[in-house]
């Protein structure tokens, strides 16, 4: 009596092979030392960018002058300053600060043009003449900016009686269509920018992983055992899982940093996360859609990078071939960002229909339209 041989297990199916590759790559990348440094990498540009933005903002605020110098007679200077003090509470920042020019005091021959061209003082413009016939000296841009407000101050200085502004009753509404739309644009822009940066930063892992395995001849062993389409599918979804882990780590670090020093971050950067306008669909659904759209954008871009990695044999070839894809993705992002202010237009419909720009356009639409 002959023994029946056990049935030979058939070759792995495409899905089973892809799952094996995905599990292998996910564990190998996640528990490598390089991944730890990869997680720490974005912290340095964020810290440097925050410090540079804070310092740059302080320098810009200190450099921009909104002072208009007064080079008239002492009586006219006093009248202009008094008029400014009367109407400033109503107009606030719309009026420039008025300062007497010390060099013009008691000097009838004071030349405002020569003073400005000599780059003396820190005045946006200098006002000479009289309140009835004022002359504003400055650059074309500063004159266009302050001609109207200075004329309003001069008109008040000429009044025989100080102007009395009527009390205005206020009826406050919680929101309006125009207000909601203008504020939600900020949320849409931030969401698009975050989606673009995360996609470009994390999609490169697919390319680097494939190039490394090609250099080590590992890909040849895998190709001999399982179909190549299963190898590529497994690698793509493995890197997607690694990307979600990285985003979770960065998000947790950002949340903890904000919880510890949110007030200091707001003072340094001028950005208050708590005042970010809520998206039209609400935060829970918006975050869920953001995860879905990130996965879509990542898989599309990762597939392109896998194609490049399969064609390239050296790192130089990888850099040469990936540059057009990067530039194309940048143009796609600009297209999606442009459609924020053009809802319902043909351009927005095209951005939604085109696969590479669809995640960005749809995420902005979720922020703008309920």
Tens-digit pLDDT profile for residues 69-78: 888 888 888 8
Residue 247 shares a structural domain with residue 350: yes
- Residue 232 inside a domain? The answer is yes
- Whether 178 has a pLDDT exceeding 60, the answer reads no
Is there a single domain that holds both residue 84 and residue 128?
yes
Residues 214, 181 within the same domain:
yes
Assigned domain for 167 exists: no
Question: What span, in angstroms and rounded, lies between the C-alpha atoms of 2 and 94?
Answer: 102
What the block records as the tokens of 294 is 């990130």
> How does residue 231 score in pLDDT terms, banded at 50, 70 and 90?
confident
d(CA 359, CA 126): 52
Cα 64-65-69 angle, rounded to 5 deg: 170
Last residue of a domain, one of 129, 158, 187: 158
Most confident of 10-14, 88-92, 129-133: 129-133
In a domain, 2, yes or no: no
Give me the pLDDT at residue 98, please.
86
The string of pLDDT tens digits covering residues 315-358 is 788 888 888 888 888 899 999 988 888 888 889 899 999 999 99
For position 288, what pLDDT does the model report? 94
- DSSP per residue, 315-338: HHHHHHHHHHHHHHHHHHHHHHHH
Please count the CA atoms within 13 angstroms of the CA of 333 that sit on its side-chain side.
Answer: 20
- Between the ranges 106-115, 131-140, 328-337, where is the mean pLDDT highest? 328-337
Task: Decide if 330 contacts 231 (C-beta within 8 A).
Answer: no
> 59 in a domain, yes or no?
no
Q: For 196-229, what is each residue's pLDDT tens digit?
A: 989 988 888 888 778 777 777 777 787 778 888 8
pLDDT surpassing 90 at residue 11: no
- The residue-averaged pLDDT of 282-300 equals 93
Q: Are 192 and 272 found together in one domain?
A: yes
Decide if 187 is inside a domain: yes
Q: How confident is the model at residue 180 (pLDDT cuts 50, 70, 90)?
A: low
Is 49 inside a domain boundary? no
Residues 154 and 186 in one domain: no
3-class secondary-structure state, position 41: coil
CA dihedral angle for residue 15, residue 20, residue 22, residue 26, rounded to 10 degrees = 160
Residue-range definition of the domain harbouring residue 138? 65-158
Q: Would 86 be classed as within a structural domain?
A: yes
Q: What is the mean pLDDT of residues 11-26?
A: 85
Q: What is the pLDDT of residue 161?
A: 56
> Domains in the chain: how many in total?
2
Instruction: Give the residue ranges of DSSP H helices in the chain.
Output: 14-30, 33-40, 43-63, 74-91, 112-117, 140-158, 177-215, 218-225, 228-269, 283-311, 315-338, 346-353, 358-368
In sequence order, the 6+-apart residues with CB closer than 8 A to the CB of 142 are 124, 125
> b/e string for 222-236 if b means 16 or more Cβ within 10 A?
beeebbeebbbbbbb
Q: Are residues 222 and 332 in the same domain?
A: yes
pLDDT band at 248 (very low <50, low <70, confident <90, very high): very high
Domain boundary among 127, 158, 189: 158
Residue 216 CB burial class (10 angstroms; 0-12, 13-18, ≥19): exposed
So what's the pLDDT on residue 181? 66
pLDDT at residue 273, as a whole number: 73
Q: What is residue 121's predicted lDDT score, i.e. its pLDDT?
A: 73
Both 281 and 350 in a single domain? yes
Domain assignment present for residue 136? The answer is yes
How far is 155 from 134, CA to CA, in rounded Å?
10
Banded pLDDT at 176 (limits 50, 70, 90) = very low
Residue with structure tokens 């949110």? 262
Q: Are residues 244 and 291 in the same domain?
A: yes
Query: Rounded CA gap, 321 and 137, in Å?
Result: 56
* Predicted local confidence at residue 1, as pLDDT: 44
Q: Which residues pair with 138 in a beta bridge?
A: 125
Let me know whether 289 and 325 are in one domain.
yes
Instruction: Give the domain-ending residue among 158, 186, 213.
Output: 158
Answer yes or no: do 347 and 199 share one domain: yes
Q: Judge if 205 and 249 occupy the same domain.
A: yes
Give the model's pLDDT for residue 207: 81
Q: Dmax of the chain from CA atoms?
A: 130
**DSSP annotation of 51:** H
Classified as helix, coil or strand, 99 is strand
Same domain for 73 and 186, yes or no, is no
Residue 173 pLDDT class (50, 70, 90 cuts): very low
Give the mean pLDDT of the chain.
Answer: 80
């Amino acid at each position: 009596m002959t023994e029946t041989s056990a049935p030979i297990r058939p070759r792995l199916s495409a899905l089973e092979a892809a799952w094996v590759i995905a599990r292998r790559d996910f564990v190998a990348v996640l528990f490598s030392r390089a991944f730890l440094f990869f997680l720490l990498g974005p912290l340095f540009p964020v810290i440097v960018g925050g410090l540079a933005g804070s310092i740059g903002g302080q320098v810009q605020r200190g450099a921009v002058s909104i002072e208009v110098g007064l080079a008239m007679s002492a009586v006219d200077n006093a009248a202009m300053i008094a008029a400014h003090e009367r109407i400033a509470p109503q107009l606030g920042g719309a009026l420039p600060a008025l300062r007497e020019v010390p060099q013009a005091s008691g000097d009838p021959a004071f030349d405002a043009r020569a003073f400005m061209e000599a780059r003396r003082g820190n005045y946006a413009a200098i006002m000479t003449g009289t309140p009835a016939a004022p002359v504003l000296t400055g650059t074309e841009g500063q004159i266009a900016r302050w001609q109207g407000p200075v004329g309003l101050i001069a008109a008040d200085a000429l009044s025989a009686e100080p102007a009395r502004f009527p009390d205005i009753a206020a009826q406050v509404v919680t929101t309006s269509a125009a207000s909601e739309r203008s504020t939600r644009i900020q949320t849409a822009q931030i969401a698009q920018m975050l989606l673009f940066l995360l996609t470009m930063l994390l999609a490169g892992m697919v390319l680097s992983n494939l190039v490394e395995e090609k250099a080590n001849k590992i890909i040849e062993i895998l190709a001999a055992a399982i179909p190549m389409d299963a190898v590529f599918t497994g690698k793509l979804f493995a890197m997607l899982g690694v990307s979600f882990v990285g985003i979770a780590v960065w998000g947790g670090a950002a949340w903890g940093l904000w919880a510890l020093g949110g007030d200091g971050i707001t003072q340094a950067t001028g950005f208050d996360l708590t005042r970010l306008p809520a998206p039209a669909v609400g935060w829970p659904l918006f975050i869920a859609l953001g995860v879905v759209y990130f996965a879509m954008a990542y898989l599309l871009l990762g597939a392109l990078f896998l194609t490049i990695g399969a064609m390239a044999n050296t790192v130089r070839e990888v850099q040469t071939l990936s540059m057009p894809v990067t530039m194309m993705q940048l143009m796609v992002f600009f297209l999606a960002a442009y459609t924020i202010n053009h809802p319902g237009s043909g351009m927005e419909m095209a951005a939604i229909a085109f696969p590479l720009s669809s995640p960005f356009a749809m995420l902005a639409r979720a922020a703008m339209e309920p």
